[in-house]
Amino acid sequence: MNNNTPEVLISEEAIQTRVLELAEQISADYDSADDLVMVGVLKGSFIFLADLARRLSIPRTIEFIAVSSYENGSVSSGAVRLLMDVRGNIEGKHVLIVEDIVDTGHTLKYLIGMMKSHRPASVRTAALVRKAESAEVDVDVDYLGFDIGDEWVVGYGLDYAEQNRTLPYIGVIKPTDT
Ligand code: PRP
């Protein structure tokens, strides 16, 4: 593990500005009467979800789902494993899946299919960052914070081996197992 302080890629201020923009866009796109359920993907989305949800001006409820694909390394296996499903009934509701990062796209693609199997009224996706160059599957991100290069990023919910999730900014580190 590299213990150096991660180099700032996206500042705290830039993140907060973008999160507010996304919240305003989401608030405008949904009607106040829509039954909006934000589904945060643990663990990485917990900070983005908290900030985004608190900036919406429309009613919303919160659910969490947990999946794992990376285990403790930095290389995606491509196989997504469901660790925890939503607790509430989302049938007939408008689902917004909230992710911290879309890398290969396997996780989000799997989650969209999973959510659709619950027969919601609609399924959309939000992600703070996306590594466009790493995409292995085609998946739509309806509300995207930032496109980034093929770097290992930490902070604002993102980790490397469980470290650095609570940094207020997104930083770059060099993983030691690649
Ligand atoms: C990360 C991230 C996404 C997924 C994206 O989760 O939170 O869920 O990888 O990768 P993909 O587009 O290649 O599928 P991770 O498995 O690291 O778990 P964590 O959120 O608990 O850190």
* Probe residue for ligand 1, chosen from 45, 69, 131, 164 as the CB with the greatest number of ligand atoms within 8 Å: 69
Does residue 6 have its Cβ closer than 6 Å to ligand 1? no
Does residue 76 have its Cβ closer than 6 Å to ligand 1? yes
Query: Active site residue: 31, 51, 103, 147, which one?
Result: 103
pLDDT at 63 exceeding the cut of 80: yes
Does residue 109 have its Cβ closer than 6 Å to ligand 1? no
Q: In b/e form, how buried is each residue of 32-41, taking b as 16+ CB within 10 angstroms? A: eeebbbbbbb
Tell how far the Cα of 69 is from the centroid of ligand 1, in angstroms: 6
Give the strands of the sheet with 152-154, arranged side by side: 7-10, 170-173, 152-154
Considering only CA atoms, give the Rg of the chain: 16
In the chain, the percentage of residues whose pLDDT exceeds 90 is: 83
Instruction: Determine which residue's CA is closest to atom 7 belonging to ligand 1.
Output: 44
Whole-angstrom CA distances from 136 to 95, 101, 127, 149 are 24, 14, 17, 15
Average pLDDT over residues 44-63: 97
Instruction: Determine which residue's CA is closest to atom 18 belonging to ligand 1.
Output: 68
Model pTM score: 0.92
For residue 1, name the pLDDT band (cuts at 50, 70, 90): very low
pLDDT at 115 exceeding the cut of 80: yes
Does residue 139 have its Cβ closer than 6 Å to ligand 1? no
pLDDT value at residue 71: 56
